[in-house]
Amino acid sequence: MTTVDDAVPALSKEQIQGLLIGYLQNARLPTTDWLSGAFIRTLMQFHGTAPLQNFGLLKARIVKNGFPIEATGDDLTNLAQQIFSITRNISLAGPRFAQTFTQQAVVLSCDASHGPYSVTSGSFSVRSRITGNRYTSITSGTIPSNGSVTVTFQAESANDSANGLNFADGPGTLTNVSENPLPGVTANNVAPNFSAVTAVAVGLGVVTVGGTPAAAPTAYDVQITTAGQVGVAVFEYRTNGGLWNTGHATATNFTIPSGPTIHFANDGGGSNPSFLVGDKYSFTSPGTPITQQGLDPETDSALLARCQARWPSLDAEGDTTDKHQVWALAASPLVTRVKVALDTNYPGRVLVTIAGVTNPLGSPTVAAVQLYIDQREEVGDLSLVAAATVTTVTATGTVTVPILQLATVQAAAKASWDPYVAGTAVAGTIRLAVLEAFLMDAGAIDVSGLQLNGSPTNLVIAANAIGSPADITSTLTWVGV
pLDDT of amino acid 248:
96
- Could you tell me what percent of the chain has a pLDDT over 70? 84
Q: Which SS3 state, helix, strand or coil, does residue 76 take?
A: helix
Question: How long is the chain?
Answer: 481
Domain end, chosen from 342, 372, 387, is at 387
Mean of the pLDDT values across residues 127-140?
A: 92
Give the pLDDT band of residue 9 (cuts 50, 70, 90). Answer: low
How far from 275 is each of 18, 220, 343, 459, CA to CA, in Å?
80, 18, 17, 34
Task: Tell me which H or E stretch contains 383.
Answer: strand 382-387
CB 413 within 8 A of CB 440: no
SS3 of 109, please?
A: strand
In this structure, is residue 452 part of a structural domain?
A: yes
Tell whether the model's pLDDT for residue 303 goes beyond 90.
no
Please report the pLDDT score of residue 316 as a whole number.
44
Q: Are 235 and 283 in a shared domain?
A: yes
Mean pLDDT of 145-162: 89
In this prediction, residue 47 carries a pLDDT of 62
Q: Helix axis angle, 300-308 relative to 73-84, nearest 10°?
A: 20
| Residue 433 CB partners (closer than 8 Å, separation 6+) | none
Q: Alpha-carbon distance 126 to 132, whole Å?
A: 9
C-beta neighbour count of 96 within 10 angstroms: 11
Give CA–CA dist 341/353, Å, rounded.
8
CA distance readout (Å), 3 to 8, 9, 71, 77, 291: 9, 10, 11, 20, 44
Q: Please give the pLDDT value at position 360.
A: 83
Q: What mean pLDDT is reported for the chain?
A: 83
Domain check: are 111 and 155 in the same one? yes
Flag whether 88 is in a domain: no
In a domain, 71, yes or no: no
Q: Are residues 343 and 416 in the same domain?
A: no
- Greater confidence (213 vs 35) lies with 213
Burial class (CB in 10 A: 0-12, 13-18, 19+), 77: buried
- 121: pLDDT strictly greater than 70: yes
Query: 357 with 397, same domain?
Result: no
Last residue in a domain, options 387, 416, 442: 387
State the residue range of the domain holding 242.
198-287
Query: 274 and 204 share a domain?
Result: yes
Q: 56 or 192: which carries more pLDDT confidence?
A: 192
Average pLDDT estimate for 2-8 = 64
pLDDT in tens, 327-338: 888 888 788 889
> Are 119 and 143 spatial neighbours (Cβ–Cβ below 8 Å)?
yes
Residue 237 lies in a domain: yes
**pLDDT beyond 80 at 231:** yes
For residues 181 and 206, membership in a common domain is answered with no
Q: Is the peptide bond before 297 cis (omega within 30 degrees of 0)?
A: no
Given 16, 34, 64, the domain boundary residue is: 64
119-123, 136-140, 159-163, 420-424 — which is least confidently predicted?
159-163
pLDDT reported for residue 97 = 45
Task: Give the pLDDT score at 476.
Answer: 94
Is residue 274 scored above 90 in pLDDT? yes
Per-residue confidence (pLDDT) for residue 64, from 0 to 100: 66
Looking at the structure, tell me whether residues 46 and 60 fall in a common domain: yes
Q: Are residues 177 and 206 in the same domain?
A: no
Region 45-59: mean pLDDT is 61
One domain for residues 405 and 379: no
Residue 37 vs residue 317, higher pLDDT: 37
- Claim to verify: residue 341 and residue 397 sit in the same structural domain: no
Same domain? For 53 and 116 the reply is no
pLDDT, one tens digit per residue, over 389-427 is 888 899 999 999 999 999 999 999 998 898 889 888 888
DSSP string, 178-212: TTS--TTEEEE-PPPSSPPPEEE-SS--EEEEEES
Share of the chain above pLDDT 90, in %: 34
Backbone angles phi, psi at 209, to 5 degrees: -140, 150
- Whether residue 281 has pLDDT greater than 60: yes
Greater pLDDT, 374 or 248: 248
Residue 421 lies in a domain: yes
Q: Are residues 238 and 255 in the same domain?
A: yes
pLDDT at residue 95, rounded to an integer: 40
Distance CA 293, CA 295 (A): 6
Q: What are φ and ψ of residue 297, in 5° steps?
A: -55, 145
Q: Would residue 357 count as lying in a domain? A: yes
Count up the domains in the chain and report the number.
5
Please give the model's pTM, rounded to 2 decimal places. Answer: 0.53
